[in-house]
Amino acid sequence: MILQPWPRDLGPVICVVGARPNFMKMAPILRAFAGHLPAIPTVLVHTGQHYDKDMNDKLFDDLKLPKPDINLGVGSGSHTVQTAEVMRHFEPVVDEYKPSCVLVVGDVNSTLACSLVAAKKGIKVVHIEAGLRSYDRAMPEEINRLLTDQLADRLYTTELGAQDNLVREGIAAERVCFAGNVMIDSLLHNRSLARPVTQTLADAGLPTDLLDNKDGYAVVTLHRPSNVDQLATLQPLLKVLREISERLPIAFAIHPRTRANIERFGLMELMRSPRIALLPPQGYLEMLGLMSGAKLVLTDSGGLQEETTALGIPCLTLRENTERPITIEQGTNTLVGIDPKVIWQYVNEVLVQGGKSGRVPALWDGKAAERIADDLARWLMATVYP
Ligand code: UD1
């Protein structure tokens, strides 16, 4: 803790959120900044990348995030248009607030766009969840991660291996701080508030005993363009999910991108079954409730790989790579790819043997945001009281 007051000539920290996976990372940071002595002044900017009620408002409520001070209202578009629009709208905000730094989280288009604006204006960039690499540049998020880290002045990591990735890319180790995982701060903070599964089903107008089965149930999420944008990939994935549901009922929370593609390809019938709960994108507390009671999670999400590791629930990741290797080395995650035969084999293994058990990685302890607040305050103060 620092006992001097927050210096007058040190501007606020502009905290940026844009898309769903940013919200659970920012909530504990804002709480820790407000609780720090002295309080770290913030301006919360929402780029508007995600705007649906389901993708946005519900999560803000669940996480008790304050209403953004500024909403850039950017919305959907190609990656180029989305990134450019965020930049165009964010620049005047930086000019107006004269921040001490711009703090970005994760790897979405808004993360890179705001980092670029800040860096070009000579404002410090702080990146939370730095150094994760899938080494797959076909993933838009990988480009966002690489470039954001190159622009960042202070980088906070969630696992030790991330620092090695950064140093290999020429980033000085002194700029990197291993702080732990803010997403797990949110999970631990909200765990006792998780919504019961029967309520979630009732809210969706589904029978409350749909997931009530002696073997438990599986939770499924899919949204990566590489999995859901082509008929040739999406159809076999949905077919194998349908087959799995004959053994283990499924709760499938459908991302808007995935729903649009399922409809466009005429695949909705494949998903209509009394053993599949088709759900809209879920709130944070609903998802926490669904995951906590699950036998197994099948996903291509980054966040769920970490959350299942923290909860000790087996996770089968339907991708060929992951930027979060610690969930495999230490946690409950297994990379299974998208071959239906291989997916079945691993599902069977979980059903027969109970699945992988793991341990919770270092510093995934609910205190990452507090460590970040302490370090950032010290680092910013050093720029005015050298
Ligand atoms: C984005 C992030 C991804 C993150 C994911 C979680 C990038 C590059 N990708 O992917 O890292 O894991 O969010 O959700 O930033 N849409 C809606 N309503 C919304 C938001 C989007 O209908 O509130 C539609 C859009 O019109 C678009 C599609 O969903 O067609 C994809 O949205 P977009 O934000 O471009 O990327 P995501 O796939 O959500």
Cβ atoms within 10 Å of 284's Cβ, excluding its own: 23
Interval 282-334: pLDDT, tens: 999 999 999 999 999 999 999 999 999 999 999 999 999 999 999 999 999 99
CA nearest to 50, candidates 61, 59, 38: 59
CA nearest to 340, candidates 233, 223, 224: 233
Sign, CA dihedral 321-323-326-327, equals negative
128 located within any domain = yes
Expressed as residue numbers, the domain containing 302 is: 191-353
How far does Cα 271 stand from its chain's mean position? 26
Give residues with Cβ within 8 angstroms of 285, minimum separation 6: 62, 190, 193, 194, 195
Residue nearest to atom 30 of ligand 1 (CA): 257
Mean pLDDT to the nearest integer, 4-29: 94
Residues 120 and 90 in one domain: yes
Residues 100 and 228 in one domain: no
7 located within any domain = no
358 located within any domain = no
Residue nearest to atom 39 of ligand 1 (CA): 257
Q: Which of 36, 46, 89, 223 is catalytic?
A: 223
Residues 290 and 371 in one domain: no
The number of folded domains in the chain is 2
Examine the pLDDT at 164 and tell me if it is beyond 80: yes
Give residues with Cβ within 8 angstroms of 241, minimum separation 6: 220, 250, 252, 271, 276, 298
Residues 175 and 202 in one domain: no
How would residue 3 be classed by pLDDT, with cut points 50, 70 and 90?
A: low
Tokens 């341990």 belong to which residue? 359
Examine the pLDDT at 254 and tell me if it is beyond 80: yes
How would residue 171 be classed by pLDDT, with cut points 50, 70 and 90?
A: very high
Q: Using a 6 Å cutoff on CB, does residue 7 contact ligand 1?
A: no
254 located within any domain = yes
How would residue 35 be classed by pLDDT, with cut points 50, 70 and 90?
A: very high
Examine the pLDDT at 4 and tell me if it is beyond 90: no
Burial zone of 20 (CB within 10 Å; 0-12 exposed, 13-18 middle, 19+ buried): buried
Burial zone of 167 (CB within 10 Å; 0-12 exposed, 13-18 middle, 19+ buried): middle
pLDDT given at position 167: 98
In degrees and rounded to multiples of 5, residue 125 shows phi and psi of: -110, 130
**Mean per-residue pLDDT over the chain, rounded:** 96
Residues 120 and 23 in one domain: yes
Residues 134 and 240 in one domain: no
124 conformational bin, left if phi > 0, alpha if psi -120 to 50, beta if neither = beta
- Cβ atoms 155, 177 nearer than 8 A: yes
The answer to whether 46 is a known catalytic residue is no
185 located within any domain = no
User: Which pair of structure tokens corresponds to residue 51?
Assistant: 């705007």
135 located within any domain = yes
Interval 185-199: pLDDT, tens: 999 999 999 999 999
Residues 171 and 199 in one domain: no
DSSP 8-state class, residue 12:
P
Residues 317 and 229 in one domain: yes
Mean pLDDT to the nearest integer, 42-68: 96
End-to-end Cα, the chain, rounded Å: 17
Interval 73-128: pLDDT, tens: 999 999 999 999 999 999 999 999 999 999 999 999 999 999 999 999 999 999 99
How would residue 2 be classed by pLDDT, with cut points 50, 70 and 90?
A: low
Interval 264-281: pLDDT, tens: 999 999 999 999 999 999
Interval 346-373: pLDDT, tens: 999 999 999 999 999 999 999 999 999 9
Q: Out of 82, 85, 129, 223, give the residue to mutate to test ligand 1, the one with the largest number of ligand atoms within 8 Å of its CB.
A: 223
Between CA 16 and CA 11 the distance in angstroms is 15
186 located within any domain = no
Examine the pLDDT at 1 and tell me if it is beyond 80: no
Query: What is the pTM for the complete model shown?
Result: 0.97
* 35 Cα–ligand 1 center, Å: 32
Residue nearest to atom 20 of ligand 1 (CA): 50
pLDDT given at position 233: 98
Q: Is 52 helix (H, G, I), strand (E, B) or coil?
A: coil
2 located within any domain = no
Mean pLDDT to the nearest integer, 48-60: 95
% pLDDT > 90, the chain: 95
Between CA 267 and CA 259 the distance in angstroms is 10
* 257 Cα–ligand 1 center, Å: 7
Give the residues across from 70 on adjacent strands: 45
Mean pLDDT to the nearest integer, 145-155: 98
Interval 196-230: pLDDT, tens: 999 999 999 999 999 998 889 999 999 999 999 99
Residues 249 and 166 in one domain: no
Q: Using a 6 Å cutoff on CB, does residue 59 contact ligand 1?
A: no
Residue nearest to atom 28 of ligand 1 (CA): 257
Residues 233 and 265 in one domain: yes
CATH number at 71 reads 3.40.50.2000
Residues 66 and 213 in one domain: no
Residues 264 and 368 in one domain: no
CA nearest to 113, candidates 77, 142, 89, 138: 89
Examine the pLDDT at 386 and tell me if it is beyond 70: no
